[in-house]
Amino acid sequence: MVLSFGILILGFVALVWSADRFVFGAAALARNFGVPTLIVGLTIVAMGSSAPEMMVAAQAAFADKTDTAVGNAVGSNIANILLVLGITALLRPLSVSSGILKREMPLLVLVSLAAWFIVSDDHFSFFEGAALLVGFIVFLLALIIITKKSGNSNDPLINEACEEVPNDVPTSKALLWLIVGMVLLPVSSGYLVDAAVDIAKYFGMSDLLIGLTIIAIGTSLPELAACVAGVLKQEDDLALGNIIGSNIFNILAVLSIAGIINPANIDSNIANRDIYIMLGATLALVFMSLSFTGTRRINRFEGGFLLAAFIGYMFYIIT
């Protein structure tokens, strides 16, 4: 069991690092081949923080652990809002001002409702997974088109995404990091899932529970690091945008992988319990971001409430 925990921790570290290298190499290579910086920033770079969830979902689905894959997607969304946003708001109250956030919040509610509809019958089909994937592609294309037409050059989210695109990286170096990331991502995620399954069996945990707890929290660590870094630099929109964008990606991209690779019946607890927690957390985020006085802030009290809700949720599902 000690060995399994060690492999799990190393797997998380390798997964996050290899995802970063993969995104770096892919973004640099795309830029070198003439792909506009805006497109690279809003696609490859923006997807970077969700790469660990995508690889874990794929590995779990291939291992016939669809519950783990679905639990990872749903659990990561819960952790992003209740844990990550809670800790971030406790560090410093967050202001909401970015125009892209106001556009993406309604979309987040919409795709969350789509996830509820998909799991409500306790079955995840191939066609449902494919529909989510199509929705993900449409979302990316719409985001690029709207951004180019509106000319949001002053939007901090867009500027940050473009600034993250590597510049002046030799093609050979970009290709090297791309290959390293492509090799290590599936290897590290494979070891991580195997270790998580061993731990789950030892403690008598279900496939769903391991996805909702250990794996979901572990794959949300990049979002936590990005949000803390953003709030310390007083870039509130970047912190909130990271959470909202990651949650949309988790439903449209990560969740779709499970249905496409391994359509199956899923644990009824998802439909009866966890999806409602995810919806409640999403609505809480929207409510806390709204204000009738013109000032939009998520304060420390609300951050403490979110964090307490996450601790209570973890205690409930584990015990």
Provide CB contacts within 8 A for 3, sequence distance 6+: none
In this structure, what are the phi and psi dihedrals at residue 298, rounded to the nearest 5 degrees? -110, 110
The predicted pLDDT at position 150 comes to 66
Mean of pLDDT values over 12-24: 83
Mean of pLDDT values over 7-18: 85
Q: Give the span between the Cα atoms of 298 and 291, in whole angstroms.
A: 10
The predicted pLDDT at position 266 comes to 93
The predicted pLDDT at position 153 comes to 55
Helix (H, G, I), strand (E, B) or coil at 298: strand
Mean of pLDDT values over 307-319: 94
pLDDT of residue 38 exceeding 70: no
Mean of pLDDT values over 35-46: 69
The band of 294, judged by pLDDT with boundaries at 50, 70 and 90, is low
pLDDT of residue 251 exceeding 70: yes
Helix (H, G, I), strand (E, B) or coil at 47: coil
Q: Distances from the Cα of 61 to the Cαs of 68, 69, 158, 254, in angstroms?
A: 8, 6, 33, 11
Query: Domain boundaries in the chain?
Result: 2-318
Mean of pLDDT values over 174-185: 86
Q: Which H or E run contains 57?
A: helix 51-62
Structure confidence by residue, pLDDT tens digits, 199-238 = 887 888 888 998 899 888 888 887 787 788 777 777 777 7
CB 53, CB 245: distance < 8 Å = no
∠ CA 73-195-53 to the nearest 5 degrees?
A: 20
* CATH architecture assignment, domain 2-318: Up-down Bundle (1.20)
The predicted pLDDT at position 155 comes to 62
The predicted pLDDT at position 54 comes to 87
Q: Give the span between the Cα atoms of 27 and 164, in whole angstroms.
A: 9
Q: How far is C-alpha 6 from the chain's CA centre?
A: 24
Could you tell me what percentage of the chain is helix, strand and coil, using 3-state DSSP and rounding each to the nearest 5?
80, 5, 15
Structure confidence by residue, pLDDT tens digits, 100-148 = 566 778 889 999 999 999 999 999 999 999 999 999 999 888 877 877 7
Mean of pLDDT values over 177-191: 85
Average pLDDT value over all residues in the chain: 84
Residue, of 107 and 297, whose pLDDT is higher: 107
Out of 10-19, 122-131, 270-279, least confident range: 10-19
Burial of residue 172 (number of CB atoms within 10 Å: 0-12, 13-18, 19+): exposed
Provide CB contacts within 8 A for 145, sequence distance 6+: none
The predicted pLDDT at position 157 comes to 64
Q: Give the span between the Cα atoms of 159 and 153, in whole angstroms.
A: 7
Mean of pLDDT values over 266-270: 93
The band of 242, judged by pLDDT with boundaries at 50, 70 and 90, is confident
Out of 69-83, 137-151, 286-300, least confident range: 286-300
In this structure, what are the phi and psi dihedrals at residue 266, rounded to the nearest 5 degrees? -125, 160
The predicted pLDDT at position 81 comes to 94
